[in-house]
Amino acid sequence: MNRSKELTTFHPFPRLPVELRRQIWFHSMPETQVPAVYMYNWRWNLELVERESVRYQSLIEYARHVDIGPVPDIPWASLEARAMTMEWSRKMQVQVLVNWDTKQSRTVRRWRKETDVLYVNCDQWVEFRDWCRVQPNVPGAAQHVRHLALAASVLCEDTREFCFDVLRHMEELETLSVVWGPQPELPMGEEYPPKGLYRHEAGSDDDDDDDDDDDDDEGREEEEEEEEEGEDGYHVMEEEDEEWQDDDWETESEELRPLSDVQPRYQVVPYSTMTMTGPMKYVYRGLDRLMNQLRENIESDVGPIKEDMNPSVVDQETGKLKFTMQVVKLNWEV
């Protein structure tokens, strides 16, 4: 008997009870709870501003979406499998996006503070720090993340800025990851918001463009009306997400949304979980000492302001940190 065929086929499957088949299909879908990494940029704050103040509404829809992997093949196995895929996507709040340049489709979901990591690289550190300082009480702001990752150079240079401008305002921090090694960079054009993103800024740069702006506004209003009618698959509003998921799993469909608004997929890998052999053992020992030193520096800087810290993050009596610190690397995943 061909053993490989035995392991990859199961002919009695159609004769199984429908409830059991549905359960098998459901458990065959990819894992959506795997922690994802979001690289902090100007899009992060779009969900915290008034929707009417943003000129390009489609940017808001995917402001905090993350890539969780390729589209599974299961929807094309049978009608029953496709029906279960639709049920799975609704339950897990998963969507499918496509990159029209590469013809690549991916599954995406919203960033979740319970499991996902917010990564801040060196170039975005000043903006992130300022945001934490000026928006300490905004629900959903950066201060409320539970898992934060910072470039090692940010903390090694000065922990006081982190303590006074960031940690001081955080309420739910559980894990601080120090990224050692190559630092992921934002895609080209992601460092700064597009010109004229906010409506109140649209006419300030060039008064001669006011008429054009009015025409653009009218055009956008017409597009929004079409969106409400469900005619434009590129910008279907939130209330139509369920209908969109029911109809557009075909990757060739023109109604699939663009993938360009979603960042590449990265995974946080703690050095403590890696197998260290040879010279790498000494590298890890050095990183472990570095982590201990950073923790001591942060606790020393926190001391004078420990009473201002959230008690779930810092012990207000001893000044000891209550969150976990770890040194990690960020791996890009296909």
Q: What is the DSSP string of 234-285?
A: GG--GGGHHHHHHH---TT-TTSEESTTSPPPEEEEEGGGS---THHHHHHH
Give the pLDDT score at 134. 72
Q: Note the pLDDT tens digit of each residue in 7-22.
A: 567 778 888 898 898 8
Phi, psi dihedral angles at 178 (to 5 degrees):
-100, 115
User: How much is the CA Rg of the chain, to the nearest whole Å?
Assistant: 24
Query: 104-110 and 95-99 as β-strands: parallel, antiparallel, unpaired?
Result: antiparallel
Mean pLDDT, the chain, whole residue set:
75
Q: Output 220 or 15, whichever has higher pLDDT.
A: 15
Q: Is the pLDDT of residue 301 over 90?
A: yes
Give the pLDDT score at 260. 55
Q: What percent of the chain has pLDDT over 70?
A: 65
Give the pLDDT score at 152. 92
Q: Is the pLDDT of residue 323 over 90?
A: yes
Q: Note the pLDDT tens digit of each residue in 140-197.
A: 566 778 999 999 999 998 899 999 989 988 889 999 999 998 888 776 666 666 666 6
For 196, the token pair is 């004229």
**Could you state, in order of their start, the residue ranges of all structural domains in the chain?**
16-111+191-258, 117-187+266-332
For 219, the token pair is 């055009």
